[in-house]
Amino acid sequence: MHERKLPATLRFMLAARRSELLGLEDLAQTCALVARISQLVHALQKERGYSNLFLSSAAAHLRPQLDSLSATAADLEQEVRTALEQMDPNGLGAPDKTRLFTRIAHALHHLDELPGLRRRIRERLISAQDATATLIRLIGGLLAVIFEAADSAVDPDITRCLVTLFNFMQGKELAGQERALGVTGFASGYFDPQQLERLSHLQECQERSFSTFCRFASPAAAAQWQVLCASSSNLQACRLREIARSTHAGARLDPQLGELWFELHTQRIDLMQGIESHLEQELLHCCQQGMQRIRRELHSHRRVLENLSDMHNSAEQIRLFSVHSSGLDSPPEDGLSGNLARSTLDLLQHQSQRLQAMQDELRTTRQALEERKLVERAKQLLMRQQGHSESEAYAWLRQTAMNQGLRLEEVAQRLLNLATAAELQPLAGHRH
């Protein structure tokens, strides 16, 4: 039956379901991109680790391994770029992608700098610290794409998968930064107070990310995380953290410990990579399942509506043949007759309730993203206005939260509100 023949009510009910399917198909494409980005991030983290090692020592024997890691990352970058080409941003049908596309442009901008950075690393024209900082920014830009994908996803299950993956990747990225910082510290034989503060900041933020991950993780992923936590490389890596913390200018270490640190933290991060792959698979699986479910529902929905419409048409036929019966006997001359109207209404109410439940679930999950964004923005504000370093800004927020018996997010929110009020002040004055 051609859909145009369906009454407008039923047509819009179908259109609503189809819109849901379109949204999910679109989301599935974004998730496929996210999975590729996740792999690229892992490759870049490995490359960063070796670049750091390469620049920190004069060890020329690291070069072949570094080249191989760069080649892997470059291949994965090409895959991401191909996937981006396929997203066809120039095509129609892409409203509401403004934030996602802006993040992608940002990430691409940083990726454009990669070949130049690699050349400078090999020619030792850049310090380990600067190279690391550049790669941290680059990876941060890629993570921001995943954050935005999570923040704009409309399906609660997929949003949950994306929030889980994002938080895990964030934790793993902080683990990578911790590894890099450790390499620098051990190479010089001790950690100065600033390095120690940064080290504990990285560890604390890691814990925060992984605890959010655990809150949303599937039982399977959570179990894998437990295995990692109990692994000997993790336990030994933690022991080396203790050793690092006990150093100072007067208590130096054998720089050789740096290689052990690197080795153990690399093992730890490689275990994380296993979980990350699992999360990518869960995400893609969730998209597939969601689309299958909606396609099935759309199919049965269409049949129900067509049946309703057939009943409606035959009711009209009957009415045509009973022009002589009294007005009181015949069904109302319009709309769907009683039973049909009721079935339609039932379907509509069921759909509305389902949508409301989805909205509620979505809000709960997005809350975790919203809170992260608040803390990030409050940190930026403190860094910009008070000249704090990132770890100082975070420490200030944490201390204030403890003093005032508030959650970190609440302190961040209040700080941002104050800043907004302060910005609006001159405007308000101007109006008088």
Residues in touch with its own copies (CB under 8 A): 3-4, 7-20, 22-23, 25-26, 81, 84-85, 89-90, 92-102, 104-106, 108-109, 112-116, 119-120, 123, 154, 327, 332-336, 341, 344-345, 348, 351-352, 355-356, 360, 377, 420
Looking at the Cβ atoms of 8 and 58, the one nearer to its own copies is: 8
Smallest distance, its own copies to C-beta of residue 252, A? 36
Give every CB contact of residue 167 below 8 A, 6+ residues apart in sequence.
Answer: 209, 210, 212, 213, 216, 368
Residue 362: closest CA among 220, 145, 150:
150
Do 279 and 165 meet the contact criterion of CB atoms below 8 Å apart?
yes
- Least CB distance to its own copies at residue 72 (A): 18
Distance of alpha carbon 254 from alpha carbon 278, whole angstroms: 38
Rounded Cα gap, residues 325 and 310, in angstroms? 23
CB of 125 to its own copies, least distance (A): 8
Task: Using the minimum distance from each CB to its own copies, give the nearer residue, 6 or 69.
Answer: 6
Write down the least CB distance from residue 425 to its own copies, Å: 17
7: exposed, middle or buried (Cβ count in 10 Å: 0-12, 13-18, 19+): middle
Residue number, 166 or 262, with CB nearest to its own copies: 166
Q: Which residue has the tokens 């049965």?
A: 300
**Closer residue to its own copies in complex, CB, 9/200:** 9
In a 3-state reduction of DSSP, which class is residue 248?
strand
Cβ proximity to its own copies: between 77 and 392 the closer is 77
Residue 265 or 366: which CB sits closer to its own copies? Answer: 366
For residue 173, give the nearest of 33, 38, 372 by alpha carbon. 38
In whole angstroms, how close is the CB of 344 to its own copies at the nearest point? 6
CA distance 142 to 207: 21
Residue with Cβ nearer its own copies (3 or 192): 3
Q: Which residue has the tokens 């698979």?
A: 281
Distance separating alpha carbons of residues 330 and 101, to the nearest angstrom: 58
CB of 136 to its own copies, least distance (A): 16
**Shortest spacing between CB 348 and its own copies, in angstroms:** 5
Work out the end-to-end distance of the chain between its first and last CA atoms, rounded to an integer number of angstroms: 66
